[in-house]
């Protein structure tokens, strides 16, 4: 059974010098988030937060890939399902980025560490809280070399 469709209405847009995902640094870049005027009231006291979670719609990402190789981290890596790693390609290309809020000027948020390209629609903004941190976690090893490639090379 398929779930009902969902519609998002962006609350803003990213303004960045980066226009191509291939040149986006893994650590993100300085950028501006232009919050649309009708949402200005929702920014009340946002400057009290040092960091924010930005949810955005990766409008140029492929939506039909289910497995990928994390090429930016390790081009020789095994494939991963898109839900197992952070890659833009996914059925619903929603990005979650943790950014540092540098300053606010009206409806413009100046941030660092944003890893989405220019003109990316912003879906939501949430404050980062100390409870968001996980001190003991488990994650996939993206630096592990592809065992299939190693076996082929040895033959």
How many CA atoms within 13 Å lie on the side-chain side of 113?
Answer: 12
**With bands split at pLDDT 50, 70 and 90, how would you rate the model's confidence at 93?**
very high
CA distance 31 to 112: 6
Beta bridge partners of 35: 12
This model's pTM is above 0.85: no
Is the pLDDT at 155 greater than 50, yes or no? no
pLDDT in tens, 18-43: 999 888 988 999 999 999 999 999 99
How many CA atoms within 13 Å lie on the side-chain side of 142?
Answer: 15
Name the least confident of 52-56, 72-76, 109-113.
Answer: 72-76
**With bands split at pLDDT 50, 70 and 90, how would you rate the model's confidence at 1?**
low
* 94-105 vs 80-81, strand pairing mode: unpaired
**With bands split at pLDDT 50, 70 and 90, how would you rate the model's confidence at 152?**
very low
Q: What is the mean pLDDT of residues 47-76?
A: 90
pLDDT the model gives residue 147: 59
The three-state (H, E, C) secondary structure of 50-64, written as one string? CEEEEEEECCCCCCC
Q: What is the mean pLDDT of residues 63-83?
A: 85
**With bands split at pLDDT 50, 70 and 90, how would you rate the model's confidence at 68?**
confident
Q: What is the mean pLDDT of residues 61-77?
A: 84
Beta bridge partners of 103: 110
């Amino acid at each position: 059974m398929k779930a009902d469709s969902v519609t998002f209405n962006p609350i803003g847009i990213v303004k960045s010098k980066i226009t191509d995902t291939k040149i986006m640094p893994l650590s993100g870049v300085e950028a501006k988030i232009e919050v649309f005027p009708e949402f200005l009231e929702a920014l009340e006291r946002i400057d009290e937060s040092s960091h924010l979670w930005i949810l955005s719609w990766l409008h140029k990402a492929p939506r039909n890939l289910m497995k990928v190789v994390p090429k930016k981290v390790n081009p020789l890596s095994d494939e991963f399902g898109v839900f197992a790693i952070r890659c833009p390609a996914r059925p619903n290309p929603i990005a979650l980025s943790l950014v540092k809020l540098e300053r606010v000027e009206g409806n413009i948020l100046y941030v660092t560490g944003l890893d989405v390209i220019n003109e990316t629609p912003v879906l939501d903004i949430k404050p980062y809280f100390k409870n968001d941190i996980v001190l003991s976690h488990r994650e996939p090893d993206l630096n592990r070399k592809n065992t299939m490639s190693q076996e082929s090379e040895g033959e």
